[in-house]
Amino acid sequence: MGRIGVFVCHCGINIASTVDVDRVVEALEQHPEVVYATNYRYMCSNPGQQLVKDAIVEHELDGVVVAACSPLMHEKTFRRAASTAGMNPYRCEMANIREQCSWVHEHQPVRATEKAIEIVRAAVERTSRNEELEPFRLPLTKRALVIGGGIAGMEAALDIANAGFPVVLVEREEHLGGKMARLSGTYLNFSAAPDLLARKVEQILNHSRIEVLTNAQVVEAEGYVGNFEVVVRSQIPNPKSESSNQNGGGASADIERQASGVADAMPAGTQRMQTSGRSVERQTSVSVGAIVVATGWDAYSLERLPEYGGGTIPDVVDGLTFEGMLRAGGEVRRPSDGRVPREVVFVQCAGSRDPERGVPYCSKVCCMYVAKQAMVFKERVPDGQAYVFYIDIRSAGKGYDEYVQRAMEEHDILYLRGKVSKIFHDGDKVVVWGADTLSGRPVEVAADLAVLATPMTPSHQALELAKTLRVGVDQNGFFSEAHPKLRPVESLTAGVFLAGAAQGPKDIPETVSQASGAAAKVLQLFSHDEMTQEPMVAYVIEDVCSGCGVCVESCPYGARAIHTVRGVATVNAALCQNCGACVVACPNKASQIRNWTLEQILAMADVVGAT
């Protein structure tokens, strides 16, 4: 027979205004295993927690039920309080009588009170059958893997390395910098971008704790938070290839030294090499404790915008291509004939905010970079004219709206509120048909160049990488965060964090901020000497298990396997996320979850509706 205490919270008026808390206490006092029951206005407050601690000691409680809000809010709070008082924290449970009772039955106080009594009774039945569990202690590998060498990946890598932990930085391209390396400058402080990025790359390459792997990608990943085993495939030049030998002995020697340097820079781990033509493929297994995904974004294909001449008219380009034209310095010259364009039309939301033909979301950066590009164009071509067709101006940020206003007022950029319907070629001109909704008139501009502000789309490797890392993606293909407000840099896979445009469209300041946030989460993990894993995970009753393997197939986290000798299912407790899929799938009910056993569930069901 247990000695359980029940503590009913008023939650101010959130619960007490609907549920008769005194009646709940009186009803639970009649339970044979409840030796103490009381209520308090705010159980989660310090006095409320102290009330729980004092009752545990005074009444020698071996179980506690707190009837209050959702366990997601304060389960850890009350378990810490119980542990402080000397009780096993896993014999402390919460009964949700706020979200699941008082809030949804605020106009039915009598029935709400009856339901609250049943909820608390069920929690008492579960608590009386709870095991006294202890957390698992797991080793922790204090090395981080950062996937992506753009500004997000570099910022995260530097923050982690500067804190004293080794980092492996994997970049699929030949150089670091990502899309930022292709920019002519940044808005607000245009001239800072090239030097800023160059300094960042130099810091990365010269940092003693950062190993950089270019022309590389992650192809396999196993393990769990604190102990991942990742296989990285990289390509390095083959010094013995025919093309290398044709360049002469000196060039071949240079390539051989470069290959040797890359090999020396490879992180410790099992390495496999395979020579193919002009390159050497190297696969290296790396042990890491945390992973930061910073794979960036890809440009929207112009071929998907045929109504704007995308992919067919050479003088219709996207914003990233126009950045390259500005980055070259000097005069701006259009692709078709090299002439300096005098009239340039910028089309915002080209493919964005268009669920039927393009993408449904806003990329957040287009309004700002169009203003920047238009101003730079006017500076390079003073007698030129820039037109901007827009739906809305979304310039939310410190100094952003003032920047757009400066483009209109100081550089005479003509902003036309309306959608462009068609762009076509007429002689040496690019004709743009649109509308000015403010004047209610159609607009036709015979321009020399059209620049389409296309949306940012997920990196083409995102989906395959998400499968490898077992990380979710949203409906648009960007990596999904664990919670959009409370856990924006974490994925639902423990130990895998998100940074930059891999998680969704964002500009450079927001990207850098999120990268530092992801790095802070990694450092928080590395601040411990070992991993602590919650013990409420699945387990197998081996005498009942037939080794059919159904649970292995049903586990979404790869935490199940069939033992090669005993022929029964086993559980990797570090990977188990307590989802219960194996329990549902098991035909023999050999799979169960600690403190959520079938016996407990049936006991809880028995008291519901009992008089």
DSSP element (H, E) containing 321:
helix 319-327
- The DSSP call for residue 92 is E
What is the rounded average pLDDT for all residues in the chain? Answer: 91
- Which pairs count as long-range contacts for 23-31, CB under 8 Å and 24+ apart, including other chains? 23/113, 23/117, 24/67, 24/97, 24/113, 24/116, 24/117, 24/120, 27/117, 27/120, 27/121, 28/117, 28/120, 28/121, 28/124, 31/4, 31/6, 31/121, 31/124
Per-residue pLDDT band for 193 (boundaries 50, 70, 90) equals low
Is 128 exposed, middle or buried, given 0-12, 13-18 or 19+ CB atoms closer than 10 A?
Answer: buried
| Mean pLDDT along residues 198-215 | 95
Show the tokens assigned to 542.
Answer: 């081996």
Per-residue pLDDT band for 260 (boundaries 50, 70, 90) equals very low
So what's the pLDDT on residue 188?
A: 81
| β-strand pairing of 441-447 with 429-436 | antiparallel
Q: What is the CATH number of domain 299-457?
A: 3.50.50.60
So what's the pLDDT on residue 282?
A: 87
Domain at 144-296+459-526, CATH class = alpha beta
3-state secondary structure (DSSP) of residue 170:
strand
Q: What spatial distance separates the first Cα and last Cα of the chain, rounded to whole Å?
A: 21
Rounded Cα distance between 366 and 352, Å, is 10
Express each pLDDT in 178-189 by its tens digit. 999 998 888 887
Is 330 exposed, middle or buried, given 0-12, 13-18 or 19+ CB atoms closer than 10 A?
Answer: exposed
CATH 3.30.70.20 residue ranges of the chain are 534-594
DSSP element (H, E) containing 380:
helix 366-380
3-state secondary structure (DSSP) of residue 155:
helix
DSSP element (H, E) containing 10:
none
Kindly list the strands in the beta sheet with 167-170, ordered across the sheet, starting from the edge strand earlier in the chain.
210-213, 167-170, 144-147, 290-293, 496-498
Question: Which residues are CB-neighbours of 123 under 8 A, at least 6 positions away?
Answer: 65, 67, 93, 94, 95, 604
Express each pLDDT in 298-321 by its tens digit. 999 999 999 999 999 999 999 999
Rg (CA), the chain: 31
Q: Are 129 and 1 in contact (CB under 8 A)?
A: no
Neighbours of 167 (CB within 10 A): 29
So what's the pLDDT on residue 269?
A: 57
Express each pLDDT in 218-238 by its tens digit. 999 999 899 999 999 998 776
Residue with tokens 């990488």: 465
Rounded Cα distance between 320 and 181, Å, is 11
CATH 3.50.50.60 residue ranges of the chain are 144-296+459-526, 299-457
Express each pLDDT in 2-45 by its tens digit. 899 999 999 999 999 999 999 999 999 999 999 999 999 999 99
Rounded Cα distance between 4 and 521, Å, is 38
* Residue 131 CA from chain centroid, whole number: 35
Among candidate residues 320, 301, 319, 324, the one with its CA nearest the CA of residue 311: 301
Which ranges constitute the DSSP H helices of 411-533?
462-469, 508-526
So what's the pLDDT on residue 248?
A: 44
So what's the pLDDT on residue 577?
A: 86
So what's the pLDDT on residue 404?
A: 95
Q: What is the CATH number of domain 534-594?
A: 3.30.70.20
- Checking if the pLDDT of 263 tops 60, the result is no
Show the tokens assigned to 259.
Answer: 């290959």
Per-residue pLDDT band for 241 (boundaries 50, 70, 90) equals low
Residue count of the chain, please give it.
611
So what's the pLDDT on residue 58?
A: 96
3-state secondary structure (DSSP) of residue 148:
coil
CATH 3.40.50 residue ranges of the chain are 4-133
So what's the pLDDT on residue 244?
A: 47
Rounded Cα distance between 87 and 85, Å, is 6
Q: What is the CATH number of domain 4-133?
A: 3.40.50
| Mean pLDDT along residues 152-177 | 96
3-state secondary structure (DSSP) of residue 97:
coil
Global pTM value? 0.81
Per-residue pLDDT band for 376 (boundaries 50, 70, 90) equals very high
Which ranges constitute the DSSP H helices of 145-281?
151-162, 193-205, 242-246, 249-265
